[in-house]
Structure 1
Amino acid sequence: MASAIYPKAKEQLLQAGINLSSANVKVVLVDGADYTYSTAHEFLSDVPSGGRVATSANLGSKTFTGGVFDAADTSFTAVTGDPSEILIVYVDTGTASTSRLIAYIDTVSGPASLSVTPNGGDINVTWAAGGIFAL
């Protein structure tokens, strides 16, 4: 699956329902064997909890230039669990059923290159120079 912005997130971005500049934006590391992208997915609760391997802190230094969303590189701390190949950017509300999915990033072809087998260490994500995603 190629990287994509979730259609429900696009709707909310176009209707001013999401303000990425003030929202708590995080990234979840996901095991591709436990999650399949769907255009119908809207919230973090659509991603099976067993497939969510690790969650980042809030993304810092967010920028919005020329329709491109970018942020400082991020990391996952002391990660254990299944091999992981997917990053999902989402707005964290503190509740999975209301935390809106924003972008699905296939780390083989997306703006970050990552396919890892967690071993208890940290996993660092370096975003590509072109940003995390573009509208």
Structure 2
Amino acid sequence: MANVLYPKGKEAFLNGSINLLDDTIRVALIDLDVYSYNAAHQYLTSVQAAIVGNPVNLAGKSITNGIFNAATVTFTGVSGPTIEGLVIYKAGATAAASPLIAFIDTVPRGLPITPNGGDVQILWDTGVNKIFAL
């Protein structure tokens, strides 16, 4: 698999129901032994069972020339199964109201990550597409 935007997430950008700069956007660590990307998935409930640790809000978000970026994120005290992917989503009141935006299984620091109870830091791509480009 490669990094991809969820089709319903793209639709939400187009209809204005996701605003990357103003909405609370989170990233979750994902165990791909439990979850497989599916283009039909729309809400966090589809991946909830595969989340390792606690999702983190993206800070320092920016959009330039159709490219989305944010500050490096740190997940604290992560333990559990191996992390092979990430999911970015808009935080809603519940998982059923939290639309999925992107599935990522390639980051510069590299995946998989085996948690050991310490912090896990995700360094976003510094290349032309950053986190993702539309």
TM-score w.r.t. structure 1 length?
A: 0.92
Counterpart for residue 118 of structure 2: 121
Within the alignment, does 1:38 sit opposite 2:38 as a pair? yes
How far apart in 1 are the matches of 2:25 and 2:122?
A: 15
- Provide the alpha-carbon RMSD of the alignment: 1.3
How far apart in 1 are the matches of 2:79 and 2:110?
A: 19
- Is residue 105–residue 111 contact of structure 1 (8 Å, CA) maintained in 2? no
Counterpart for residue 65 of structure 2: 66
Within the alignment, does 1:14 sit opposite 2:11 as a pair? no
Gaps of 5+ in 2: none
Counterpart for residue 3 of structure 1: 3
Q: 1:16 Cα deviation (Å)? A: 1.1
Q: Aligned partner of 2:99: which letter?
A: R
Counterpart for residue 92 of structure 1: 91
Counterpart for residue 83 of structure 1: 82
Q: What is the DSSP-based 3-state SS (H/G/I as helix, E as strand, rest coil) of the residue aligned with 1:14?
A: helix
1:5-24 superposed Cα distances (whole Å, 9 cap, x missing partner): 00000011011111111111
- Number of residue equivalences: 132
Q: What is the DSSP-based 3-state SS (H/G/I as helix, E as strand, rest coil) of the residue aligned with 1:117?
A: coil
- Is residue 79–residue 122 contact of structure 1 (8 Å, CA) maintained in 2? yes
- Is residue 28–residue 56 contact of structure 2 (8 Å, CA) maintained in 1? no
- Is residue 26–residue 59 contact of structure 1 (8 Å, CA) maintained in 2? yes
- Is residue 34–residue 48 contact of structure 1 (8 Å, CA) maintained in 2? no
| Runs of 4+ more than 4 Å apart | none
Q: Aligned partner of 2:22: which letter?
A: S
Query: Among the aligned pairs, what percent are the same residue?
Result: 45
Q: What is the DSSP-based 3-state SS (H/G/I as helix, E as strand, rest coil) of the residue aligned with 2:8?
A: helix
